[in-house]
Amino acid sequence: MNKGIQPRQVQHDYSRHLHRHVIFDIYLPPGYDADHNRQFPLILFNDGQDLPVANLGGALETLIGQGKIPPAVVVGVHAGKGRRHEYGTVRQADYKGRGDKAPHYRDFVLEELLPHLREKWRLSTRPEDNVFAGFSLGGLSAFDIAWAHPDVFGKAGVFSGSLWWRWSDVDPADPDADRIIHDVVRTCSSTRPNAQHFWFQAGTLDEAEDRNNNGIIDAIDDTLHLIEALKVRGYTDKQIRYLEMENGTHDPVTWGKAMPDFLKWVFG
């Protein structure tokens, strides 16, 4: 495995929104220190602790070196011990009370982390240059925040997203009902579509559950149904990329195999 660009690990000051210290890794592209007038695109990742196993540094070094993507700054925010409470959907917690601190996490990202990053590093503030991505539950969180703030994030990336997040337990009579993020997209009151773009990945071995017994695992169903909801709102195939990975599993190794596709899509 190519070790690639190595991250700097930074411990953020104590977060007033999360009531804890936050650790994040920052990946600076080759030539960053030599070009003092350039502002760089930003890719922000939830679950940043998984990026080394996903070989982000190797993918960045290879693709930038080959000229397939421009130099960009990537920041991976490490999840805290309360991950299942901080990640989720801002509108509401799930039926087990998980995600109850999602509004606090959103406020941390928008009011603390981004201002800190932009003060310390030369980052573009244009929405089209700012991407929010994540793995699993972190992917749900990234999509939810980006969807609500198109003035900040022009793109969102979801690796094996926990798009099943729901406000009630599964009803056998209507097993696909009550999924929160699908309802958020369907009922959003702001003007849509806009210029945002969305990237989704799912693996055929992400899980084994098939709640509606249609022969398709829930991870794929939930992703395809969210894409359908986006298209109903007016988004087109040019704004949506879906990568389904045969034998892809729910882990950083699979997400690492998808990483080059995601990075090239970001700048495509």
Q: What is the pLDDT of residues 47-104, one digit of tens each?
A: 999 999 999 999 999 999 999 999 999 999 999 999 999 999 999 999 999 999 999 9
101 lies in a domain?
Answer: yes
Residue type for position 42: L
For residue 29, the 8-state DSSP code is P
94 lies in a domain?
Answer: yes
226 lies in a domain?
Answer: yes
Confidence at 1, pLDDT banded by 50, 70, 90: very low
Q: Residue 152 pLDDT more than 90?
A: yes
Count CA atoms within 13 Å of residue 119 on its CB side.
6
Q: Give the pair of three-digit tokens for residue 83.
A: 């991950």
2 lies in a domain?
Answer: no
Paired residues of 159 in beta bridges: 135, 201
Q: Residue 82: give the domain boundaries.
A: 8-266
238 lies in a domain?
Answer: yes
3 lies in a domain?
Answer: no
pLDDT digits (tens, 9 = 90+) for 2-56: 478 899 999 877 999 999 999 999 999 998 988 788 999 999 999 999 999 999 9
- pLDDT above 70 coverage of the chain, percent: 99
Distance between CA atoms of 8 and 93, rounded to whole angstroms?
A: 33
Q: Which residue has the tokens 């929160």?
A: 180
**130, exposed or middle or buried, with CB in 10 Å at 0-12, 13-18, 19+?**
buried
**Mean pLDDT score of the chain, rounded to an integer?**
96
pLDDT at position 37? 87
- Looking at the structure of the chain, the number of domains it has is 1
CATH value at residue 139:
3.40.50.1820
1 lies in a domain?
Answer: no
Q: Give the pair of three-digit tokens for residue 170.
A: 């599964």
Confidence at 162, pLDDT banded by 50, 70, 90: very high
pLDDT at position 34? 87
211 lies in a domain?
Answer: yes
Q: Give the pair of three-digit tokens for residue 211.
A: 């709640």
